[in-house]
């Protein structure tokens, strides 16, 4: 039975968590301790799949605890559950924590985050993948503005105008989004000067994924990324996202806004695992990129040979840690190996895989396309011109 370890110095909080999760006792083994030192002693006696810790605690705070857990038990999923908004502690938590949940946390959101963590042990088979992702010092997290945006749109009183104002509060993020929106990728007839205008023209189905991907890529600014240009990777990801959305629209006569948004987001995030590898192993990854560009070796195969896992698998593992939907995880994790997918229907995975082929960035998996009876589309989707190389 999976084991969860909760850490909080406030007895009332631990009691509340016990009551909140009592109905899950047959699903999880749960232990509750009052300090970081107690947590480390507990882990030394028995491993845990997930550690959920408060941030501000006397002696050893949450950031220090989770850093120790990362170093000692790299495959353990680390979640912050804290009511404190202290900026320094929050920034320190970005590296050692996989997810950050604010108190008071809705029971459904907490259990959903934990279940997502549990699924990692079932769906991501390679211990090497988990080890690589868990060991990265500055593992990207879901942007707070994205989470706020999701909550706003889930509200009965949510509106596009309010969503635009939420995004506009972050000037740096807004500037990057406006730069993308005004690029040739979207082909807008007018220049967009503010985020609310962008939301009105493109809709939240496009803007919300841009907020997520831009916020994630922004976390890698200033990092040494061997063999990768962050600007070129951003451009490439945006182009694949736009192409994937077009391909999905061609296949679906009546594609819903949510389906279109998921396809677009899958395209934006499909190469996020490259950033993780490049940040964790800058010199080694730069050598692999050079070898791939100067020879005929496929980069994914080189990654698997060098690290034991490809950027696609690592990216899929990462976004599953964020709690994003399973079809999106599948699209990122399997975009170079779509035949390993569980389903046999057109999906976000199909759209991203074909978009990469149409962009001249990868070979199409003919067997996969035939399994979906999509061979008749081959000529229509055929590459026209290669996109900017990453």
166/331 Cα distance (integer angstroms)? 29
| Farthest-apart Cα atoms in the chain, separation | 65
pLDDT of residue 87: 47
**Residue 115 has what pLDDT?**
79
- What pLDDT score was predicted for residue 342? 65
Task: Quote the tokens at residue 169.
Answer: 């509060």
CATH of the domain spanning 3-123: 3.40.50.2300
Report d(CA 373, CA 328) in Å as an integer.
Answer: 22
Tokens, residue 303: 């990654």
Residue 84 to residues 103, 104, 192, 334, Cα–Cα distance (Å): 8, 11, 37, 38
* Residue 73, pLDDT score: 86
Work out the angle at residue 327's Cα, subtended by the Cα atoms of residues 52 and 259, and round it to the nearest 5 degrees: 120
Q: In this structure, what DSSP letter does residue 125 have?
A: -
Q: According to the model, what pLDDT value does residue 363 have?
A: 83
Burial class (CB in 10 A: 0-12, 13-18, 19+), 121: middle
Contact between 241 and 268 under an 8 Å Cβ cutoff? The reply is: yes
**pLDDT for the residue numbered 297:** 81
Q: Is the pTM of this model over 0.75?
A: no
- What pLDDT is recorded for position 123? 54
Domain layout of the chain by residue ranges: 3-123, 219-381
Please give the chain's pLDDT, 390 residues, in tens: 889 999 999 999 999 999 999 999 999 999 999 999 999 999 999 999 899 999 889 999 988 898 898 888 877 888 888 875 554 455 454 456 667 777 888 888 888 878 766 664 555 556 778 778 777 766 788 888 888 888 787 777 778 888 888 999 999 999 999 999 998 888 888 899 999 899 888 888 899 999 999 999 999 988 888 889 999 999 999 999 999 998 888 877 666 777 888 899 999 999 999 999 998 899 999 999 999 888 778 899 999 999 988 999 999 888 877 867 768 888 999 999 898 876 678 889 999 999 998 888 888 888 888 888 875 555 556 655 444 433
Cα 260 from Cα 245, distance rounded (Å): 6
60 touches 117 (CB < 8 A): no
CATH code: domain 219-381 is 1.10.3210.10
Please give the Cα distance from 372 to 106 (Å, whole number). Answer: 40
Nearest C-alpha neighbor of 28 from the set 96, 89, 77: 77
- E strand or H helix at 29: strand 29-33
Cα 39 to Cα 51: distance, rounded to the nearest angstrom: 9
């Amino acid at each position: 039975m999976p084991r969860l370890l909760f850490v909080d110095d406030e007895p009332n909080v631990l009691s509340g968590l016990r009551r909140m999760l009592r109905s899950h006792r047959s699903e999880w083994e749960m232990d509750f301790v009052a300090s970081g030192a107690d947590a480390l002693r507990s882990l030394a006696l028995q491993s845990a799949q997930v550690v959920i810790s408060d941030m501000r605690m006397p002696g050893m705070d949450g950031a220090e605890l989770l850093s120790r857990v990362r170093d000692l038990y790299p495959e353990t999923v680390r979640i912050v559950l804290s009511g404190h908004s202290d900026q320094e502690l929050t920034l320190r938590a970005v590296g050692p924590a996989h997810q950050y949940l604010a108190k008071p946390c809705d029971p459904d959101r907490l259990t959903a985050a934990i279940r997502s963590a549990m699924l990692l042990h079932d769906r991501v088979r390679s211990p090497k993948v988990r080890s690589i992702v868990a060991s990265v010092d500055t593992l990207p997290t879901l942007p707070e503005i994205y989470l706020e945006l999701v909550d706003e749109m889930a509200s009965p009183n949510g509106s596009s105008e309010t969503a635009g104002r939420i995004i506009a509060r972050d000037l740096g993020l807004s500037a990057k989004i406006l730069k993308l929106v005004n690029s040739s990728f979207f082909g807008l007839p007018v220049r967009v000067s503010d985020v609310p205008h962008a939301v009105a023209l493109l809709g939240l189905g496009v803007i919300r994924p841009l907020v997520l991907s831009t916020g994630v890529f922004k976390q890698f600014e200033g990092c040494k990324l061997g063999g990768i240009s962050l600007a070129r990777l951003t451009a490439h990801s945006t182009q694949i996202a736009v192409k994937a959305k077009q391909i999905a629209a061609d296949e679906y006569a009546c594609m819903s806004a949510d389906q279109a948004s998921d396809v677009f987001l899958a395209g934006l995030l499909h190469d996020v695992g490259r950033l993780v590898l490049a940040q964790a192993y800058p010199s080694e990854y730069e050598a692999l990129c050079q070898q791939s560009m100067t020879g005929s070796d496929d980069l994914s195969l080189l990654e698997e040979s060098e690290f034991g896992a490809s950027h696609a698998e690592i990216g899929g593992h990462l976004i599953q840690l964020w709690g994003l939907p399973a079809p999106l995880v599948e699209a990122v994790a399997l975009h170079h190996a779509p035949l390993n997918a569980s389903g046999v229907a057109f999906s976000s995975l199909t759209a991203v895989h074909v978009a990469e082929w149409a962009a001249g960035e990868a070979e199409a998996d003919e067997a996969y396309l035939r399994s979906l009876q999509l061979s008749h589309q081959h000529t229509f989707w055929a590459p026209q011109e290669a996109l900017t190389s990453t």
